[in-house]
Structure 1
């Protein structure tokens, strides 16, 4: 072995090296590890406080709409929005609209309530819930009037809901009506034949595959579906007649699914007068101050609802596609 063999370990007594260099090295490594642990612990505490403060700020901002304006201690016009498609999972669900209406009527400073409608319609069940609750609240609070004010459109299920109002107002260019019921879908029988796809559907009930889009329409099932639609249509017509009373000037086309402008709707008795929300608050109710009681989900409610319904929506998509709709 030569003097320059690199495998020869350095001498512990080499010039310039401390006799306790191993211990010094271990001490420095231990101290560095301890410092790193302390730093990691401080960052962990910081991020915990930061995350908690962030959640608190989101909660405050999310609830701000529900807090603002409702502490007014003077007479005012209460406003509740019915905006968008009416369904159990939308902002215009019966639960949300009814929550806003109840809060509006329960305020001791509410002089009158405006239900501001802007919706193409939706579920007949949800629309019926809103209609029923309007009638109940009008009976419970007879001194507080409820007026519906139509913005761009109030069609089908939307009109079903607001027909119970004391009076209905609209703009001259608003779209009103579409008193009818529909059930739609698609048929893929010929497409499957062309693609050479075979449908394998197993059921334990004669009509469990009711209106299966991958099979031919069965006359008996089509007849049953039409009877369902006709029954819901009659319920819709009865609700409109009950709500509008003698104001209606019925025509042959009134319940055909057609819709009209606000101007024509006044002539037909579907709308009482032309007017906006501010006009009704100022000139009809007599309380120009408007307080918004519309229920709006906060970020936590929305997140929980979406998590809770994600799986259910996947499983029920086939069924919901065949539910009658007031659109």
Structure 2
């Protein structure tokens, strides 16, 4: 069933419930996609911190469509897949279309989320794509040597400490990582192909990790059109009420408390996580 057919089938049932207008519920998916949150990072996306907002968006008796407001440079592939699968599960259960809107950037895992939509829209200046896999880290073995610190690790299993940042990099570990990346890339490619199908252009390598503007993404079939949530909703659902479901903030955050640890090891991890998160955004000039 097409998106238009879903809307047409849904509208009479919604309007039968009274004179109140139908609802388009939007969910904000803003930030780096990661299973961990950092007290020094900006917004982050994980199934744990956005699922309640997704559930609220779909739990409305006057619902006619759900919109995804995506602004993400990507991140953890598993979290991207879990969130996208939850959205598709609820869309199927509730029989409502999902429209995804790319804001500043919907790249890598951010584009994975966008593909959970039946239709994808972007601003002409949005950055879209980056269908690939990347890992990044820090090599700290030289730092330990300068500090006169010796790293001691004891394992059972020769591959238990691959790519330890405190040890010299091994070529065989890098090859293992490349194999892992290839597998994840294939899964990403399969997801995009399943969701976008014949819309995808065959005139460019869409799976090279390249990023395009929203205008170019339309030509390549990565998005369906240019538009913002308000312009598209006003045109497609002129009588609908637009509501936005925000992910709930933890109580400590509401009180202005981060819960940050003062232990030196935790502080180092938090600073490195913040640097990595900053690097993901800065790749796109943000």
TM-score range, shorter chain: 0.7 to 0.9
2:153 corresponds to: 202
Deviations 1:203-262 (A, max 9, x none): 123223321233322222221111111111111111111111111114553111110000
Matches within 5 A, 1:1-327: 73-88=20-35, 89=37, 90-142=43-95, 144-189=96-141, 195=146, 197=148, 199-205=150-156, 206-297=158-249, 299-300=251-252, 307=259, 314=266, 317=269
Cα distance change on mapping 1:250 and 1:317 into 2, 3 Å = farther
- Partner of 1:199, secondary structure, is coil
Cα distance change on mapping 1:292 and 1:156 into 2, 3 Å = same
Q: What's the CA shift for 1:162?
A: 1.7
Q: Answer 1 or 2: which has greater helix percent.
A: 1
TM-score (norm 2): 0.76
* Aligned-partner Cα distance in 1 for 2:219–2:261: 44
- Partner of 1:147, secondary structure, is strand
The structure whose Rg is larger is 1
- Partner of 2:64, secondary structure, is strand
* Aligned-partner Cα distance in 1 for 2:254–2:182: 36
* Aligned-partner Cα distance in 2 for 1:261–1:86: 21
TM-score (norm 1): 0.67
Deviations 1:279-298 (A, max 9, x none): 12111234442111222215
* Aligned-partner Cα distance in 2 for 1:218–1:306: 37
Q: What's the CA shift for 1:154?
A: 0.6
* Aligned-partner Cα distance in 2 for 1:294–1:255: 31
Cα distance change on mapping 1:246 and 1:301 into 2, 3 Å = same
Cα distance change on mapping 1:298 and 1:190 into 2, 3 Å = closer
Q: What's the CA shift for 1:197?
A: 3.7
* Aligned-partner Cα distance in 2 for 1:316–1:238: 37
Residues 169, 274 of structure 1: 8 Å contact kept: yes
User: Superposition RMSD on alpha carbons, in Å?
Assistant: 3.2
* Aligned-partner Cα distance in 2 for 1:176–1:107: 30
Segments of structure 1 that go 5 or more residues without pairing to the other structure are: 1-71
